[in-house]
């Protein structure tokens, strides 16, 4: 399995014995924009999946557990014995198998019917797993504040100085650095209190490091809850070149932070 580049989408193999389930997953995968992913193959059972993998490559299996013949757990166990196996995200209606899924080193576990936001969070976990780890992480000084990230049982210490922004999306908060995206369970309001003045609340769903604020522009934004598009403000976050919505009441504060050079 080759690590996908920052520009290449995740290559996804769908493995489910129900054609309609695969069709719905294909649509959900296509709707995910961060990270990008594309379905490169489908299989209706474990044997078909193995035959596909013998001739093709992918980064991730979206894998149903209950299938005729060898089930998804047996397939995952078999793939785990490979030297460079693809990541696994289980997709099933039976949530009671979640513990067994993680014992098989699955990147995540999705319950049917799958929601796009939850699938996107799972894809972000996969990207974290596939990120290059050739160089050891630099030691974090003892006096450097960090945010603890729980990545499937592993505790990662992300220095606050590397955090560009935090954005709330339904039940999760996305933490963005220049090279990685992490998913947190913390509430954005709690993070705001802990991070202090180095971060600016630009919207009810986003905190941005002042040093990362660059350009403020007025654009036409999609309407909320299916409403009509409307004019609004967005700010560019460097160096990732992401644009985040700014609430009207925070426009002046963002302008001031940019004028001060983000310090």
Looking at residue 263, what DSSP letter applies? -
Residue of 35, 185, 21 lying closest to 119 (CA atoms): 35
Task: Pick the range with the lowest mean pLDDT from 36-50, 116-130, 145-159, 201-215.
Answer: 145-159
pLDDT at 28: 93
Task: Please check the confidence at residue 185 and state whether its pLDDT lies above 90.
Answer: no
Domain count, the chain: 2
pLDDT at 153: 55
Residue 33: which domain range? 10-130
Residue at which a domain ends, from 130, 159, 182 = 130
Q: Are residues 124 and 154 in the same domain?
A: no
pLDDT at 199: 96
pLDDT category of residue 141 using cuts at 50, 70 and 90? low
Sheet holding 60-63, edge to edge: 37-43, 10-15, 60-63, 87-92, 108-111
Q: Are residues 191 and 228 in the same domain?
A: yes
Q: Are residues 60 and 153 in the same domain?
A: no
pLDDT at 133: 40
Q: Are residues 184 and 231 in the same domain?
A: yes
Residue 68 domain-assigned (yes or no)? yes
Could you tell me the CATH number of the domain that includes residue 195?
A: 2.40.50.1020
Mean pLDDT of the chain: 84
Share above pLDDT 70 across residues of the chain, in percent, rounded to a whole number: 83
Residue at which a domain ends, from 104, 130, 156 = 130
pLDDT at 7: 52
Could you tell me the CATH number of the domain that includes residue 49?
A: 3.40.50.2300
Residue at which a domain ends, from 102, 130, 158 = 130
Q: Are residues 44 and 100 in the same domain?
A: yes
Q: Are residues 122 and 28 in the same domain?
A: yes
pLDDT category of residue 235 using cuts at 50, 70 and 90? very high
Task: Please check the confidence at residue 261 and state whether its pLDDT lies above 60.
Answer: yes
35: cis peptide before it, omega within 30°? yes
Residue 114 domain-assigned (yes or no)? yes
Q: Are residues 98 and 200 in the same domain?
A: no
Task: Let me know: does 172 contact 183? Beta carbons within 8 Å.
Answer: yes
């Amino acid at each position: 399995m080759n690590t996908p580049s920052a520009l290449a989408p995740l290559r996804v193999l769908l493995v489910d014995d129900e054609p309609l389930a695969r069709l719905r997953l294909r649509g959900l995968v296509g709707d995910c924009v961060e990270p990008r992913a594309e379905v490169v193959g489908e299989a209706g059972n474990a044997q078909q999946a193995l035959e596909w993998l013998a001739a093709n490559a992918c980064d991730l299996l979206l894998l149903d557990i209950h299938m005729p013949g060898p089930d998804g757990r047996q397939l995952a166990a078999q793939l785990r014995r490979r030297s460079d196996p693809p990541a696994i995200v289980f997709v099933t209606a039976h949530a009671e198998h979640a513990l067994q899924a993680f014992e098989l080193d699955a990147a995540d576990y999705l319950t049917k019917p799958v929601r796009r936001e939850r699938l996107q969070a799972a894809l972000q976990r996969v990207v974290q797993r596939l990120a290059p780890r050739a160089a050891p992480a630099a030691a974090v000084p003892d006096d450097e504040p960090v945010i603890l990230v729980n990545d499937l049982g592993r505790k990662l210490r992300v220095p606050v100085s590397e955090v560009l922004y935090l954005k709330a999306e339904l039940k999760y908060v996305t933490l963005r650095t220049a090279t990685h995206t992490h998913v947190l369970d913390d509430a954005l309001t709690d993070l705001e209190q802990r991070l202090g003045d180095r971060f600016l609340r630009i919207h009810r769903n986003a905190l941005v490091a002042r040093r990362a604020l660059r350009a403020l522009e007025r654009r036409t934004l999609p309407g909320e809850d299916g409403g009509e598009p409307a004019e609004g403000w967005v700010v560019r976050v460097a160096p990732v070149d992401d644009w985040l919505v700014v609430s009207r009441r925070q426009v002046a504060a963002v302008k001031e932070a940019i004028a001060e050079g983000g310090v």
